[in-house]
């Protein structure tokens, strides 16, 4: 059995569901930039059995353009000079994304304004309309 990565209290991801690729990165690193592949591309298949269906849907929605049509989440980390730190950063960003997806959005409770509030709003509209009508002299100006 491959090692599991803990994301939340009850969510674990199988390391086999993560696909890593390493490429050369621009930016800091001096001469290393041209020699060492420090940038990390992490691909996580959101359709893996580790996530419940509702979490999977929210994860893909939250990922936005980082999600492919096949349901893979692609995270690229290239800010650090070392491959290992970029790898940790990519994993951390994936974990944060999954944690956000775990939170169920609150259902909106429909409310309607009270009769008094409606009456107050309409009366203030009538007052404002009278004020504006008084400014230009009314409809019998012509």
Helices (H) and strands (E) in the chain, counts: 3, 5
Domains held by the chain: number? 1
Q: Which domain holds residue 35?
A: 4-102
Of 46, 43, 41, 44, whose CA–CA distance to 87 is shortest? 41
Top pLDDT among 131 and 82 is at 131
pLDDT at residue 103, rounded to an integer:
87
In a domain, 70, yes or no: yes
Higher pLDDT, 112 or 34: 112
Q: Work out the pLDDT band at 84, boundaries 50, 70, 90.
A: confident
Residue 28 has pLDDT above 70, yes or no: no
Residue at 122 is within a domain: no
Strands 39-45 and 72-77: antiparallel
């Amino acid at each position: 059995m491959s090692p599991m990565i803990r994301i939340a209290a009850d969510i674990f991801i199988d390391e086999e569901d993560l696909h890593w690729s390493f490429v050369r990165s621009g930016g800091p690193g001096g001469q290393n930039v041209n020699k060492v592949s420090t940038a990390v591309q992490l691909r996580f298949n959101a359709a893996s059995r580790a996530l419940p269906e509702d979490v999977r849907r929210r994860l893909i929605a939250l990922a936005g353009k980082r999600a492919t049509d096949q349901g893979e989440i692609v995270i690229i980390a290239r800010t650090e000079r070392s491959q290992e730190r970029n790898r940790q950063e990519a994993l951390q960003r994936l974990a944060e994304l999954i944690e956000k997806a775990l939170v169920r959005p609150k259902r909106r409770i429909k409310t309607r304004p009270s009769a008094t509030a409606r009456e107050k709003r309409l009366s203030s509209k009538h007052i404002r309309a009278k004020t504006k009508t008084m400014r230009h002299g009314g409809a019998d100006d012509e």
